[in-house]
Amino acid sequence: MAMKMGFRWFGEGNDSISLADIKQIPGVTSIVWSLHHKLPGEVWEKEEIAKVQKQLEPYGFDMDVVESVNIHDDIKTAGPGRARYIENYIQTIKNLSQFGVKVICYNFMPVFDWTRTNLFFPLEDGSTAMYYEKAMIQDDPRQMAEYILSKQRDGMTFPGWEPERMARLDELFAAYRGVSKEQLWANLIYFLEALMPVCRELGVKMAIHPDDPPWDIFGLPRLIIDEAAIDKLLSTVDDPHNCLTLCSGSFSANPKNNVADMVRKHCKRIAFAHVRNVRHYPNGDFVEVSHRDRDGHSGILDIVKAYHDCGFEGYMRPDHGRHIWNEKCRPGYGLYDRALGIMYMLGIWDMLDKLKQGKG
């Protein structure tokens, strides 16, 4: 077993990038996929999964990793539909496992998925990247939602910011009003404990993605924000199928988080590695930069080395990239910069392999 390199693809007709393009990036074996038309809570049917399998087959890509199967708000808030939606989730796991899926990435963020204030912030080299201006995320989530929706072009949706959900923003906020951080934790643990028996039986790993950014926003509690939270999650549901999607960019948006330390500490419980580099500003703002170590502050060299040193056997993918060479693409998910990121990561990895062999 060895580390496997993946590439996130939003599906036929939902991505500017083709599988043929991805095939030409050296080293990619896994397509990180999802059924993006499904709403949280719906069962993913076998026929729908089979369609994706058919698309990947000619290229020889595996479909081992899904990102994401999103969680219904009733599961997060312990709402009236919780039991039914957990049942649906379990059915989806069963269906996915029949197609060889091994890792399910998900997140437990209330209302919003990742949050940025500028999707096309100009960098000094002429490219653009996603930017987070701390002062702008104050109290008006509606303004934020409108901005994000205005950027959804050509029917391409941003996961977590589906227009159907954003139209119900007031309702969603109301549902979370009485949910404290402790209750949200309890609801996450309840959900995972309900899933673990089927995960054990089928060999499927649930891999939680951290909250992005890793702090409370709009008065909503956020859980997976630092090392203490990871420790709590992994020790409370202490099962090898309760795993992490360790997103270096999400965690390192808080300069206090040391992602390489997290890798060293929890290597065996990381099913999926997201590698993203961010640069901090003294006022707390941050921007996503190239994967090159010195372009940002995430510590990419240390992180990749930590994975290599610990014998990481999971899946890895470049996370958000910049928009370069005038590419028209989904914010953060262009072909070019993510391909550069892969070559950088594999460059480090291959050299570490060589050095290790030389010693042996």
**Whole-number Å distance between alpha carbons of 149 and 127:** 22
From the list 163, 165, 185, the residue with the least C-alpha distance to 173 is 165
**Whole-number Å distance between alpha carbons of 172 and 178:** 12
From the list 186, 188, 202, the residue with the least C-alpha distance to 241 is 202
Q: Near Mn ion by CB under 5 A, which window of 52-60, 91-99, 184-192, 270-278?
A: 270-278
If binding is defined by CB under 5 A, does position 67 make contact with Mn ion? Answer: no
Site string for ligand CS2, 110-149 (x = CB under 6 A): ---xx-----------------------------------
Among 15, 74, 162, 319, binds Mn ion (CB under 5 A): 319
**For residue 324, what are the CA distances in angstroms to 231, 290, 300, 329, 330?**
38, 10, 20, 10, 12
Show the tokens assigned to 271: 């099913």
Where do we find the tokens 């091994």? 102
Name the region of 85 (left: φ>0; alpha: ψ -120 to 50; beta: rest).
alpha
> Among Mn ion, ligand CS2, none, what does residue 107 contact (CB within 5–8 Å per kind)?
ligand CS2
Non-local (6+) Cβ contacts of 315 within 8 A are 3, 4, 5, 6, 30, 32, 64, 65, 103, 271, 272, 273
**Whole-number Å distance between alpha carbons of 257 and 254:** 6
**Whole-number Å distance between alpha carbons of 261 and 77:** 32
If binding is defined by CB under 6 A, does position 106 make contact with ligand CS2? Answer: yes
If binding is defined by CB under 5 A, does position 288 make contact with Mn ion? Answer: no
Site string for ligand CS2, 252-291 (x = CB under 6 A): ----------------------x-----------------
Q: Is 154 a catalytic residue?
A: no
Count of CB atoms situated within 10 Å of the CB of 289: 25
Positive/negative CA dihedral, 248, 250, 255, 256: negative
Q: Near ligand CS2 by CB under 6 A, which window of 56-64, 79-87, 99-107, 281-289?
A: 99-107
Site string for ligand CS2, 217-256 (x = CB under 6 A): ------------------------------x--x------
Q: Is 209 a catalytic residue?
A: yes
Among 103, 119, 233, 247, binds Mn ion (CB under 5 A): 247
Angle made by CA atoms 183, 189, 190, in degrees to the nearest 5: 85
Q: Is 291 a catalytic residue?
A: no
> Among Mn ion, ligand CS2, none, what does residue 105 contact (CB within 5–8 Å per kind)?
ligand CS2
Q: Near ligand CS2 by CB under 6 A, which window of 105-113, 184-192, 228-236, 264-272?
A: 105-113
> Among ligand CS2, Mn ion, none, what does residue 34 contact (CB within 5–8 Å per kind)?
none
If binding is defined by CB under 6 A, does position 67 make contact with ligand CS2? Answer: yes
From the list 280, 279, 299, 281, the residue with the least C-alpha distance to 289 is 279
> Among Mn ion, ligand CS2, none, what does residue 344 contact (CB within 5–8 Å per kind)?
none
Out of 241, 266, 274, 308, pick the active-site residue.
274
* Closer Cβ to Mn ion, 107 or 242, answer by number: 107
Shortest distance (Å) from residue 148 CB to ligand CS2: 12
Q: Is 36 a catalytic residue?
A: no
**For residue 239, what are the CA distances in angstroms to 22, 38, 234, 327?**
34, 28, 8, 42
From the list 263, 275, 250, the residue with the least C-alpha distance to 348 is 275
* Closer Cβ to ligand CS2, 160 or 314, answer by number: 160
If binding is defined by CB under 5 A, does position 162 make contact with Mn ion? Answer: no
Catalytically active residues are 209, 247, 274, 319-320, 333
Q: Which residues bind ligand CS2 (CB under 6 A)?
A: 67-68, 105-107, 113-114, 159-160, 209, 212, 247, 250, 274, 319
